């Protein structure tokens, strides 16, 4: 009987290929955990801070907001841009779903706001068309880069990187007085957001 040599392979993969594959998997997993942990830590630090109103920003009608505008009720604030391929439309879809889960009186009081991080491309009309595709109650705001940077800094949001995609993917629940009450990571359930907003309005 002739004995067959047993090659160093596992499921059709050579030992070298298996090691490389495992190494890549470990690195990707570690990177994902690092991002998650960092995001969670950042979220905790942002809750409770005071942020300014939207004075000086421009809404989808071309109106320049004055001090106190959109501050008559809690706001759901998100920094994004209309050409975003994934996180932005996913978050705005979540906001729209959360609005549908709120009692009508609550949904009509909260002010959902998208602040663009790409003012070069996102003018008032572009923003108007974009937010209308999610929910007509979402306010799209743009403005001068310097003012946008100042507002983003107050939230602790990342803005002003090498490209528009360099922005924070958090959703902020802000009180009428300007206090960040809650921050939601991407993928937060709509019902969780709806409950938080109702609590902020009704106490």
- CB distance 110 to 75 below 8 Å: yes
Q: Is residue 176 part of a domain?
A: yes
Number of domains in the chain: 2
Of 113, 88, 110, 114, the residue nearest 99 (C-alpha): 110
Q: Are residues 42 and 124 in the same domain?
A: no
Distances (CA, A) of 42 to 28, 169, 184, 200: 21, 12, 11, 22
| Sign of the C-alpha dihedral computed for residues 196, 197, 198 and 202 taken in this order | positive
Which CATH number characterizes residue 81's domain?
Answer: 3.40.30.10
Q: Are residues 106 and 158 in the same domain?
A: yes
Q: Is residue 82 part of a domain?
A: yes
- Other beta carbons within 10 Å of 55: 16
Bridge partners, residue 176, by sequence = none
Q: Is residue 147 part of a domain?
A: yes
**What pLDDT sits at residue 182?**
96
- What's this model's pTM, rounded to 2 decimal places? 0.76
- CB distance 148 to 159 below 8 Å: yes
Q: Is residue 196 part of a domain?
A: yes
**What pLDDT sits at residue 21?**
39
**What pLDDT sits at residue 54?**
97
**What pLDDT sits at residue 159?**
64
Beta-strand runs (E) in the chain = 9-10, 13-14, 75-80, 111-116, 139-141, 171-174, 180-184
Q: Are residues 182 and 128 in the same domain?
A: yes
**What pLDDT sits at residue 112?**
98
Domain residues for the domain of 23 are: 9-46
Q: Is residue 3 part of a domain?
A: no
Q: What is the pLDDT along the chain (203 residues), one digit of tens a residue?
A: 544 444 444 444 455 444 333 433 433 333 333 333 334 444 544 678 899 999 999 999 999 999 999 999 999 999 999 999 899 999 999 999 999 999 999 999 999 999 999 999 999 999 999 999 999 999 999 999 999 999 999 998 876 544 545 567 899 999 999 999 999 999 999 999 999 999 999 98
């Amino acid at each position: 009987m002739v004995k067959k040599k047993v090659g160093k392979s596992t499921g059709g993969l050579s030992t070298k290929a298996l090691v490389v594959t495992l190494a890549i998997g470990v690195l990707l997993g570690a990177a994902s955990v690092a991002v998650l942990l960092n995001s969670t830590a950042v979220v905790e630090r942002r809750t409770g801070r005071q942020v300014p109103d939207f004075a000086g920003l421009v809404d989808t009608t071309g109106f320049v907001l004055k001090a106190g505008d959109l501050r008559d009720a809690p706001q759901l604030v998100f920094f994004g841009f209309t050409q975003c391929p994934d996180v932005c439309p996913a978050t705005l879809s979540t906001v729209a779903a959360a609005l549908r889960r709120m009692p009508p009186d609550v949904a009509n009081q909260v002010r959902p706001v998208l602040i663009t991080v790409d003012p070069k491309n996102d003018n008032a009309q572009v923003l108007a068309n974009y937010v209308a595709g999610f929910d007509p109650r979402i306010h799209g705001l743009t403005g001068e880069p310097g003012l946008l940077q100042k507002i983003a800094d107050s939230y602790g949001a990342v803005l002003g990187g090498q490209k528009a995609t360099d922005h924070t993917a958090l959703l902020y629940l802000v009180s009428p007085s300007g206090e960040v009450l809650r921050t939601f990571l991407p993928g937060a359930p709509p019902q969780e957001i709806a409950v938080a907003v109702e609590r902020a309005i009704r106490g």
